[in-house]
Amino acid sequence: MGKFYTKPDKSQWSGRISGKREYLHEKVLLKDLDKGDIFQYENRAYALLGYACDEGVKRNSGRPGAVKGPYAIRTELGKMANHLPEDVQLIDAGNVHCPEGDLESSQDLLANMTTKLIKQGATPLLLGGGHDIAYGHFRGIKSGMEKGNRLGIINFDAHFDLRSNERGNHSGSPFYQIANECSAEGEPFDYLCLGIRKEANPPELFETASRFGVKYVELPEFSISNVTAVKKTIVDFISRVDKVYVTIDMDGFSSAYSPGVSASSPVGFKPELVFSSLKTIIDSRKLVGLDVAETNPLYDQDQQTAKLAAGMIYYAIHNLALL
């Protein structure tokens, strides 16, 4: 894997010292996938893998800085209290990088490493990095699943990310790429996008979404006052697939909650609805992978965005562990 991968770094994990593993920095296990570290386990394991890359953001005319997202999220996650059962493993599997702007190779490695994590029995939880993380993550999950399973995507985002990759992959093209690959392979493209902002997506993208049969909920309807209808939309979508991959773009939140992103806006959704939606997805027992994308520490304020991203990873791990 060479320069495209770095092993996990214990210095990224710190916090209060309890001596009784009461904090996640005391719970986490570091595994170097480049050395073939094995963590196959008879019980449950959750593996963090960083995608330290913002080349796709740059190609998509966004502001760079998300390359540091995985480090910022780990810093906040390590401080959080550990309520995981003793027999549940929390793994840090290191970071995928993007040297010399070779985004496509980074996505290939991310896919291969995601598959490796799944084959060892872990649920992948990926930390971005640009939203081009979704292309590699999806491919890796698909390759690691049992054949014949139908994999659906739920994306919490202001943007469809269905732009063409005709001039190269980027942070706005992952679901366009996935849709075309599904079509070429004669497989369904099951994609639900929650929080779409009309002003952030030109008519062409709505036309593309229609052509690919994308299900979506626009921001005015994706609100806590409409939580019953949102839950029904999610449940109906999940009922049509065998497994679910969730991706959360931090720029979908209002900048009041998530200022440190590549494309911020004061108009966006609120955390409580995303947490509620995650609970619905997790309770279905179909979640097989989750990532957070676009955390950009260069523009963060008091680490709000990193704390929110870490909080969602924390929420997912602890709720999955209780199933």
* pLDDT at residue 234 in the model: 98
Q: Tell me the pLDDT band of 41, cut-offs 50, 70 and 90.
A: low
Is 83 labelled as part of a ligand binding site? no
Is 131 labelled as part of a ligand binding site? yes
Strands 151-156 and 122-128: unpaired
Query: Of all residues in the chain, what percent carry a pLDDT higher than 70?
Result: 99
* pLDDT at residue 323 in the model: 87
Q: State pLDDT tens for residues 236-255.
A: 999 999 999 999 999 999 99
Q: State pLDDT tens for residues 113-161.
A: 999 999 999 999 999 999 999 999 999 999 999 999 999 999 999 999 9
Whether the per-residue pLDDT at 40 is higher than 90: the answer is: no
**Mean pLDDT across the chain:** 96
**Two tokens, residue 109:** 């490695």
How far is Cα 114 from Cα 95, in angstroms, rounded to an integer? 12
How far is Cα 293 from Cα 251, in angstroms, rounded to an integer? 8
Is 157 labelled as part of a ligand binding site? yes
Mean pLDDT over 8-30 rounds to: 97
Phi, psi of 94 (to 5 degrees): 90, -160
Q: State pLDDT tens for residues 158-201.
A: 999 999 999 999 999 999 999 999 999 999 999 999 999 999 99
* pLDDT at residue 36 in the model: 78
* pLDDT at residue 158 in the model: 98
How far is Cα 11 from Cα 211, in angstroms, rounded to an integer? 47
Is 159 labelled as part of a ligand binding site? yes
| Three-class DSSP category at 266 | coil
Is 291 labelled as part of a ligand binding site? no
Mean pLDDT over 298-312 rounds to: 98
Q: Which amino acid is at 96?
A: V
Whether the per-residue pLDDT at 283 is higher than 90: the answer is: yes
Q: Kindly list the structural domains of the chain, giving each domain's residue range(s) and its CATH number in brackets, ordered by start.
A: 2-321 (3.40.800.10)
Whether the per-residue pLDDT at 43 is higher than 90: the answer is: no
* pLDDT at residue 244 in the model: 98
How far is Cα 136 from Cα 277, in angstroms, rounded to an integer? 24
* pLDDT at residue 138 in the model: 98
* pLDDT at residue 38 in the model: 73
Whether the per-residue pLDDT at 39 is higher than 80: the answer is: no
106 contacts 130 by C-beta, under 8 angstroms: no
